[in-house]
Amino acid sequence: MEFRYLGNSGLKISEITYGNWLTHGSQVENDVATACVHAALDAGITTFDTADVYANTAAETVLGKALQDERRESLEIFTKVYFPTGPKGHNDTGLSRKHIMESINGSLRRLQTDYVDLYQAHRYDVETPLEETMQAFADVVRAGKALYIGVSEWTAEELRAGHSLARELGFQLISNQPQYSMLWRVIEEEVIPASEDLGISQIVWSPVAQGVLSGKYKPGAAVPAGSRAADEKGGADMIRRWLSDDVLAAVHRLQPVAEEAGLTMAQLAVAWVLQNRNVASAIIGASRPEQVASNVKAAGVRLKPEIMARIDEAVGELAERDPARTKSPAARLV
């Protein structure tokens, strides 16, 4: 495993982060989830990402139990706040001071830790003054409940405003967690240049495009039984946009590229996002321990320029690049 600094800070995180978004507490049994966490640890992963909203807080609980016997100082544990949790009442969502303060306490309790290394705004809250949100984050840091603050899916303009307030309030905004893959490149035009100016790194989610870039889905064929695309509890909705025959045909063209690089298709996809110097880590998930052991091999890979060019040629215009696709929710989801 290799490690990178997170933003303009002294915090190092593993190039591969283990995340439990669509699995722990909902899609896989707790013993399998624990086995996946232990496989991540065995592979050298020290960075773990979750959120209070995942499985309506259950994912944090599963992760906390899986890590309870590990040396806390050797881990980087990340979680997030914004989306509705619990009974989803009128104050159970957003980035108000009330919700942030109550949410951090709940997350720490479920994760069985005194602090998180990174506390992230899961989205930008258009209904709460940014000053209120950033002051609450500053107080969370000063209370020792979080060491650093990050965000997720913020626009370049929102990053600049949040970073400025963080500096005024005496804490660091060091990361953004956007979707990023060969097929979803919307952060490249605006978010990454702004982040580089501000000293903010990307911790990217869905580098394998919900599994599509693994090559498991074939043009004109039914989705495999047991795959994410067959899971109507949540996975199918997220992956459906990538299941058109033209996209799947483009992914099929990547197979010889992966073989030339000596990688599996999934490893190639993870390695590709890590070639971007503004990306500190790629988040992988797993429903089986062996998936972790395989995907972690993308760490430390340096893809040759000709391999990168062939990837661009294979994907072509099918990749989504419109920076406007990074946008704040219009209203809270309650």
**For residues 34 and 63, what is the distance between their CA atoms, to the nearest angstrom?**
7
Spell out the long-range contacts of 112-116 with Cβ–Cβ below 8 A and sequence spacing 24 or more: 112/64, 112/65, 112/67, 112/68, 113/64, 113/72, 113/77, 114/144, 114/145, 115/144, 115/145, 115/146, 115/147, 116/77, 116/78, 116/79, 116/145, 116/146, 116/147
Q: Using alpha carbons, select from 2, 9, 3, 4 the residue that is nearest to residue 199.
A: 9
In the block, tokens 């992956």 appear at 239
DSSP-assigned letter for residue 53: T
Alpha helices of 76-172 — where are they, by DSSP H? 97-111, 130-142, 156-169
The Cα–Cα gap between 72 and 54 comes to: 22
Cα(121)–Cα(303) distance, integer angstroms: 32
CB 292 within 8 A of CB 40: yes
State yes or no: is 148 an active-site residue: no
78 membership: H or E segment, kind and range: strand 76-81
For tokens 């990538």, name the residue: 242
Quick one: angle between helices 58-67 and 30-42, nearest 10? 50
253-263 residues labelled b (16+ CB within 10 A) or e (exposed): ebeebbeebeb
Residue whose C-alpha is closest to residue 271's, from 16, 12, 40, 19: 16
Residue of 54, 119, 180, 217 marked catalytic: 54
Instruction: Give the whole-angstrom CA distance, residue 186 versus residue 321.
Output: 4
- Residues with a catalytic annotation lie at 54
